[in-house]
Structure 1
Amino acid sequence: MTETATRRTIRAVLVVAAGISLLAVLLVLAAWRNDHTINSDKGVATAEVLSAGALRSAVSFVTPDGVTHTPRLGVLYPTNLTAGQRIDVEYARSDPDLVRVSGRDVRVALVPAGSVIVVTWLIVGPVLWFLRRRRPD
């Protein structure tokens, strides 16, 4: 591998790792913004879990005005839910499709996002070390 190719490869690895890290940070910021929106205009309801998955769970709940809502993107922070379960949810009254499991907030996203960043750089570190060692003198 030539000096130029090695430099380009190193730069590409750094760009990919920085991009993954940035996406993880943006995920946390988006969760914080959603929490802020819910907290600023909070409604509370009891919801039924229609389907449960590790990344997305569908719920249905009725707001005080008698309207049934089934947010198309599911509920925020859906871990450990099971279909048929009844849970308390908090939602933005101005946007009832923005709903989270009661008692959960952005702190739930910190460990996964931090883990993605740490693992990314734990992989990138040795790759960069290897590429720099192979660089022609």
Structure 2
Amino acid sequence: MSADVPPPVTPAATPSVTPPAIGPGTARPTGALPPVATAPRPVRLPVRRIRIRRAAPGSGWLLASRIVLGAALAVTLMIAALAAGSRLDDRRIDQHLGTATATVLSLSALHTGIEFVDGGGVTIRPPDGVLYPGLLSVGQKFKIEYSTLDPTIVRVAGRTAAVGNLILLITLGVTWLVALGANLVLRRRWRAIASRAAIRPDPLRLGSTP
């Protein structure tokens, strides 16, 4: 006689519990672990090596010599422009020649103010003064030549650009004489410093040698 076997007992299913969503205004339940903040990964920036070049010994004297030559070249260009302008003014006066008597009103290193009456009876005071005004004095009356098309272009009668060019050539010669002399002194100083630096050992290089 077989014994009665009891039927197998099936365990009751455990209901799944979904944790409530925790928002900004929701209280955190007791015993719940706080969220773990993940640290941002460090960003590696590329390292840029900067090489500092040391100035060559005596380079300041060499730069000064070049500046002197550049200034002399600038003066040369300015004198050339003045000479060309004087030639052009003479041509305008010669093509439309007018004569008058002018009076010196003012004198300065760069300007000689005059006044005269042209052929039409109009009093003219040239804003640029008179060309080639050497050996004039305030109040002196002298003969002038001007362009009838443009009475503001005036020169002392009998004087042309040749007189002005002589002064410009003298100025140019003195400028280059001073510039070349200064350039010679500065370059000698530069060579002396450079030669001493070539003989003297560099302490930075000696220290870096293993």
The TM-score, its normalising length taken from structure 1, stands at 0.86
Q: Does 1:22 align with 2:70?
A: no
Gap change, CA 1:28 and 1:93, over 3 Å in 2: same
- Residue 105 (structure 1) aligns with: 160
Residue in structure 2 matching 1:84, options 131, 139, 145: 139
Q: What RMSD, in angstroms, separates the aligned Cα atoms of the two structures?
A: 1.9
| Larger RCO: 1 or 2 (CA < 8 Å, sep 6+) | 1
Q: CA deviation at 1:126?
A: 2.2
- Residue 49 (structure 1) aligns with: 104
Q: Which moved more, 1:70-79 or 1:2-11?
A: 2-11
Q: Using the aligned pairs only, state the percent identity.
A: 36
Residues of 2 paired with 1:54 and 1:14: CA distance? Answer: 26
Q: Does 1:129 align with 2:184?
A: yes
Q: Secondary structure at the match of 1:97?
A: coil
Q: Secondary structure at the match of 1:96?
A: coil
Q: CA deviation at 1:104?
A: 0.8
For 2:169, the aligned partner's letter is G
Q: Secondary structure at the match of 2:72?
A: helix
Q: Does 1:74 align with 2:132?
A: no
Gap change, CA 1:10 and 1:83, over 3 Å in 2: closer
Q: CA deviation at 1:54?
A: 4.9
Unaligned runs of 5+ in 2: 1-55, 196-210
Higher helix residue share: 1
For 1:39, the aligned partner's letter is D
Gap change, CA 1:9 and 1:48, over 3 Å in 2: closer
Q: Which has the larger radius of gyration?
A: 2
For 1:92, the aligned partner's letter is S
For 2:148, the aligned partner's letter is R
Gap change, CA 1:10 and 1:63, over 3 Å in 2: same
- Residue 87 (structure 2) aligns with: 32
- Residue 57 (structure 2) aligns with: 2
Q: Does 1:95 align with 2:150?
A: yes
Equivalenced residues, count: 137
Deviations 1:39-84 (A, max 9, x none): 1111111222223445422222212222111112211111111233
Q: Secondary structure at the match of 1:103?
A: coil
Unaligned runs of 5+ in 1: none
Higher strand residue share: 1
